[in-house]
Amino acid sequence: MASGQHSTVIEQLVVLTYSIWKDQRVQTLTSLTGTALLLYVAYHAVLTLWFWIKPGGILIYCHSETGSWALVTGASDGIGQAFSDDLLKRGFNVLLHGRNPQKLDGVRKKLAQKYPRRSVDIVVADASKVDESYKVVAEKVKQLPGKLTILVNNVGGVSTYPQYVPHAEMAHENIDTLLNINLRFPTQLTAALLPTLKANAPAAILNCGSMGGLMAMPYIITYAATKAYIRHFTECLRTEMIAEGTTNVEVMGWSIGNVESNSNRFQIAGTATSEECAIASLDRVGCGRGFTFPRWLDFVQARGAQMLPERLVRKITIAEMSNRRIAEQKSL
């Protein structure tokens, strides 16, 4: 097409567009559409803001006259210990689970001294030996002087060393250890305690997932895959409770971001302390969602990653995990 003809076509399109725009009905429709879009965005912005600032509903589970108990697995340190501390602060008695009796008893004494009006007990069981451990914990729950109303499935993480390893180089026993701790133990324990929680309702089952379960993570793929399982397990169990008419047992979980702990010293933007993570997570209880994020910052990071091109997200993830692997190898 010649240059002059091309210009004529453009001019005709401009004239046609302007003539359409001058039509009062088109202007009215455009105005209504724009207003509706703004109202839609404003409505969801208000809902999102309210979600993050509204008070939590965890205290409805602190109702037993003989004392309401919360079981926190993996409570020897890190997020588990922080969960226990905050639950005691909110009025619950706490049963601490861990595998190291000396360490666990030290935590018990510290928390009992800090909260003298609460009861703190311990149960020792190795979550990596799932066939024995969940039965030990379930038996201990039967001996509590009050009612168990909250189960926090916190135990997990990358407990094998080195942590960052190509999958083909992982020892078979290490793979089984990660599967037992992060997947089999919480699944079996939940099944064992569900009848008790139903009997003591209202009650809650709270599961710790990870943002690692939302993204493709190299060098920790067994761990990341178990966290994806935890998310789906939580959603399925929540749906099953509704299907069976059990509306007074809340099932929910969190996609937890990077948290500084004894087993994780890597700092990235937005890294939370164990205390910050635990408090924010418990504040989300009763939010109405099956799986969410503890902090608004975690939510923004996850949504931001979803908006980026997949190739870019993979490139960033590979760079971060490769750096962690190199740093770990240097420290060995």
User: pLDDT category, 328, cuts 50, 70, 90?
Assistant: confident
3-state helix, strand, coil in the chain (%, to 5): 60, 15, 30
pLDDT of 267: 63
User: pLDDT category, 268, cuts 50, 70, 90?
Assistant: low
**Averaging pLDDT over each range in 36-45, 152-161, 168-177, which range is the top one?**
168-177
61 contact partners, CB below 8 Å, separation of at least 6: 68, 92, 149, 150, 202, 203, 204, 250, 285
How far is it, in rounded angstroms, from Cα 16 to Cα 21? 9
Residue in 249, 254, 250, 198 with CA at minimum distance from that of residue 230:
254
pLDDT of 224: 94
Whole-Å CA distances, 240 to 186, 243, 323: 17, 5, 41
Q: Which pLDDT tens digit goes with each residue over 275-287?
A: 999 999 999 999 8
How far is it, in rounded angstroms, from Cα 21 to Cα 267? 54
Q: Which pLDDT tens digit goes with each residue over 81-98?
A: 999 999 999 999 999 999
User: Does residue 6 have a pLDDT over 60?
Assistant: no
Tell me the average pLDDT across 261-283: 80
Residue in 234, 123, 225 with CA at minimum distance from that of residue 178:
225
More confident site: 36 or 273: 273
Backbone dihedral angles phi then psi of residue 188, each to the nearest 5 degrees: -70, -40
Average pLDDT of the chain is: 89
User: Does residue 215 have a pLDDT over 80?
Assistant: yes
How far is it, in rounded angstroms, from Cα 184 to Cα 97? 16
User: Does residue 2 have a pLDDT over 60?
Assistant: no
% of residues, the chain, pLDDT over 90? 63
User: pLDDT category, 288, cuts 50, 70, 90?
Assistant: confident
pLDDT of 201: 93
Tell me the average pLDDT across 249-253: 97
How far is it, in rounded angstroms, from Cα 177 to Cα 183? 10
Q: Which pLDDT tens digit goes with each residue over 122-140?
A: 999 999 987 789 999 999 9
User: Does residue 265 have a pLDDT over 80?
Assistant: no
223 in active site: yes
pLDDT of 237: 98
Whole-Å CA distances, 58 to 61, 147, 201, 282: 6, 15, 13, 7
Residue tagged active-site, from 61, 134, 219, 223? 223
Quickly count: other Cβ atoms within 10 Å of residue 238's Cβ: 20
